[in-house]
A and B are shown apart, each in its own frame.
Chain A
Amino acid sequence: MSGEEKNVGLFVTCLVDLFRPTVAFAAVKLMSEAGCSICVPERQTCCGQPAFNSGDRHDARKMAEMVIEEFEKFDYVVAPSGSCAAMIKKHYPELFSDQADWHKRALDLSRKTYELMSFLTDVLDVKEVETTLNRKVTYHDSCSGLRELGIKDQPRTLMNAVEGLDLVEGENAERCCGFGGTFCLKYSDISTRIADDKCDDILKTEADMVLGGDLGCLMNIAGRLTRRGETVEVRHVAEVLAGMCDDVAPISRKG
């Protein structure tokens, strides 16, 4: 770590804010330990991806403008979600392609925005985590993080640094879980069918815990697993890395 403290703005993401604050605390802990000072602007809600992917550019822009205004002052912007980080990093510049001033601001923000696992490993060069978890774990690669940001090795590097953690790869770890934002509501039956394939792939690994980096996907997978009566636990990878599994029950399960 370089001596200077990095001023990081945490983009909490709406799902983490509402459903699983522990993930954000885990993110804060991991980054603080690596020498960052974390700020959480109150003026933040959603990155605008649901609007953007629904074709509602107007509302997407309004939300994007708010994020840009609020976060451009930081050295780095970090989100514990590949899909929200990709929205800011990849799609904000595209969203303002016809407005030169906003486009420039979007590009500037894009350059300093990271998904949490990528920020920890690629920027902060974290290689060690001080925690133990004696569990057999498998990992689900969420689509946006994987394909839009190239996040594949980063979470694995960190998981492998957890003492006792036994990582087993699913054959189709990279296959979509069927969440797809509003897709899971609009095409619920197809979404469920895809989620079932994902569940089967997870069960085949005989892992007792599945981790991932995107709460939307994790809620989808967990919701389907508990509905099917499966006992595999689902968690955000940051909870494990920060040693916070005792702070909160697995997703969709009672504490």
Chain B
Amino acid sequence: MKLNAHNFKENAAKALKDEDLQASLAKLGTGFPLKRLAAAARLPEFEALRDQARDIKDHTLRHLDFYLEKFECKVQETGGHVHWARDIEDGRKIVYDICESVGAKTVTKGKSMIGEEMAINEYLEEKGLIPVETDLGEYIIQLRNEPPSHIIAPAIHLRKSHVEEAFRKTHTELPPERNLDEPEDLLKEARAMLRKKFIAADVGITGANFMIAETGSTVIVTNEGNGDLTQTLPRVHIVLCSIEKMVPNLEDCATLLRVLARSATGQEQSVYTTFSTGPKQMDDPDGPDQFHVVILDNGRSRMLGHDTHDMLRCIRCSACINHCPVYQSVGGHAYGSIYPGPMGSVLTPAIYGLEQSCDLPNASTMCGKCEEVCPVRIPIPQMLRSWREKQWEDGPVPILQRLAMSVWAFWAVRPKAYHFGAKIKMRLLGLLGRKNGHFKSLLFSKAWTKSRDFPAPEGKTFQQLWSEKGGRRS
């Protein structure tokens, strides 16, 4: 996907007026969070598991080079291949070369955020292949030719009518008078259409929630089972993942799985948890002939050991997104990045550069809800702040904003002058505002008074009153 983060403000303004989107977001705002809460309440050791999950990821990141190499060895031992992709270009080329080497035409695809990051569908299409998304949400947005608006529920911004419209427009071989009123009808139709593609596919591409160094396995969790068909039916299975998806062993993977689904959808487990280890072996009844793992870096290794290091613990559960008041207000597309919400506002500048996404770290109230729910306890507000610091040091900060802060800071460290000025201003504002108790509009504060009354001050400052009363000063 092409980054559109520099238009955050305009995107957000549009989103706030989009009634369909607002209706969808209202549902999300209560749906996932309440389910997560209930799932956590059912598991007494949930908080302890979060600590363990954090520690597992921290340990892995400290020894990432070791585990990546171990993983590569294990994959090779089982007959698979590991490919290292420094950036998006590398990754796309590797995927295409594999497809070309087997003369692939149709490529089925399970849900993969790394695939989105690489815009692999667009690339393969350009090269004359037919990529088909098999996750229902991804399939729908592929038909509509739009990016995902959420990392685990890519079509969450859409209503049923949008889906019906997309199906009627695309599935032209079906009778136009068919009934698509119920969600089940839509599901049935998608399933029937996708069945044909599964059978026709030469290559299946999936993502990976985890890579396991001990066994050389990759793991995906899905609720539709489409991932299994994507990876077992075609001759070639390509896994797209990024360096931080590593875990040392099966045991650790199990711990992370226990917090993943609970944090995401409030499920104990996703419906399908699938482990892939190498290609089809002699006595396997089925499976692909070739097994490839493409491991993408794309800026992540630069995060290691730096301010946003902890972000690499992220297991993409989306809890921070689901609970974010800003995301709940504007939805995913406003962020202009495939990674929306709090996690995206830390990750996007790291991947694409801060200049391209300077609004994102700022578009947060710093309410801390994201950190409160993150299963691996990533201090997201602190990382957003570290991006803001970078911006302040050498990035684009609006000149007026800089000026305002400097003026404020100048007076704030000169208390005598500050209190004197404050006394006069508050007296004036207090008098002017006495009639209503607030101002409907006020010079230089349109950003506030456009939608909110500005409360009038009492009139005298506390410092002034304390002096008048002869209160204790030392």
Contact = CB atoms under 8 A, between A and B. Distances in A.
Q: Most chain-B CB neighbours within 10 Å: which of A16, A56, A220?
A: A56
Contacts of A136: none
B249 interface: no
A103 interface: no
B411 A51 contact: no
Contacts of A38: 471-472
Contact of B458 (A44, A51, A147, A248): A248
Contacts of A43: 415
B455 A254 contact: no
B472 A20 contact: no
Given A253-B438, A254-B436, A255-B437, A52 B385 contact: yes
Interface stretch (B73-81, B187-195, B203-211, B366-374): B366-374
Nearest to A146: B368
Interface stretch (A120-128, A162-170, A193-201): A193-201
A66 B450 contact: no
Contact of A18 (B329, B363, B426, B448): B426
Nearest to B393: A55
Contact of A193 (B329, B366, B416): B329
B438 A223 contact: yes
A148 B367 CA distance: 10
Q: Which residue, of A53, A148, A255, has the highest number of chain B Cβ atoms within 10 A?
A: A53
B9 interface: yes
Contacts of A101: none
B31 to A, nearest CB: 14
Contacts of A251: 437, 455
B75 to A, nearest CB: 41
A190 B422 contact: no
Interface in A25-72: 25, 28, 37-46, 48, 50-57, 59, 62-63, 66
Contact of A190 (B363, B389, B419): B363
A176 B452 contact: no
Contacts of A252: 437-438, 453-456
B462 A24 contact: yes
A78 interface: no
B390 A181 contact: no
Given A19-B457, A50-B405, A42 B438 contact: no
Interface string A135-151: 00000000110011000
A226 interface: yes
Contacts, number: 214
Interface string B360-383: 001111111101100000000000
Nearest to B389: A55
B463 A62 contact: no
Nearest to B391: A55
A160 interface: no
Given A51-B409, A53-B388, A194-B329, A188 B364 contact: no
A62 B413 contact: yes
A43 B473 CA distance: 10
Contacts of A59: 405-406, 408-409
Given A59-B406, A176-B367, A188 B391 contact: no
A54 B405 contact: yes
Contacts of A226: 437-438, 453
Given A40-B472, A176-B367, A187 B12 contact: yes
Interface in B403-456: 405-406, 408-409, 411-413, 415-416, 418-419, 422, 426, 434-438, 445, 447-448, 450-456
A16 B462 CA distance: 7
Contact of A51 (B367, B405, B462): B405
Given A19-B458, A147-B372, A55 B392 contact: yes
A255 B436 CA distance: 8
B389 A46 contact: no
A21 B471 CA distance: 14
A22 interface: yes
B450 to A, nearest CB: 6
Interface in A60-103: 62-63, 66
A102 to B, nearest CB: 15
B409 A21 contact: no
Interface in A2-18: 12, 14, 16-18
B87 to A, nearest CB: 28
B102 to A, nearest CB: 48
B415 A12 contact: no
A179 interface: yes
A187 B438 CA distance: 22
B465 interface: yes
B436 A180 contact: no
B473 A188 contact: no
Given A19-B457, A40-B463, A226-B453, A190 B326 contact: yes
A212 interface: no
Contacts of A191: 365
Contacts of B83: none
B415 A44 contact: yes
Nearest to A144: B368
Interface in B330-374: 330, 362-369, 371-372
Interface in A158-216: 175-176, 178-195, 197
B66 interface: no
B474 A63 contact: no
A56 B405 contact: yes
B13 interface: yes
Given A18-B457, A21-B460, A50-B408, 18 more contacts: A18-B426, A46-B412, A51-B409, A56-B392, A56-B405, A143-B365, A175-B369, A178-B325, A186-B362, A187-B326, A190-B326, A190-B363, A223-B454, A224-B453, A226-B453, A227-B453, A253-B438, A254-B436
Nearest 6 interchain pairs by C-beta: A180-B365, A55-B388, A223-B452, A55-B392, A21-B462, A176-B367
Interface of B: 9, 12-13, 16, 325-326, 328-330, 362-369, 371-372, 385, 387-393, 397, 401, 405-406, 408-409, 411-413, 415-416, 418-419, 422, 426, 434-438, 445, 447-448, 450-458, 460-463, 465-467, 471-474
19 contacts: A19-B455, A19-B457, A25-B465, A50-B408, A51-B408, A55-B390, A55-B393, A55-B397, A143-B366, A176-B365, A180-B366, A187-B9, A189-B12, A189-B451, A190-B326, A192-B451, A223-B448, A252-B454, A252-B456
Interface of A: 12, 14, 16-22, 24-25, 28, 37-46, 48, 50-57, 59, 62-63, 66, 143-144, 147-148, 175-176, 178-195, 197, 219-220, 222-224, 226-227, 248-255
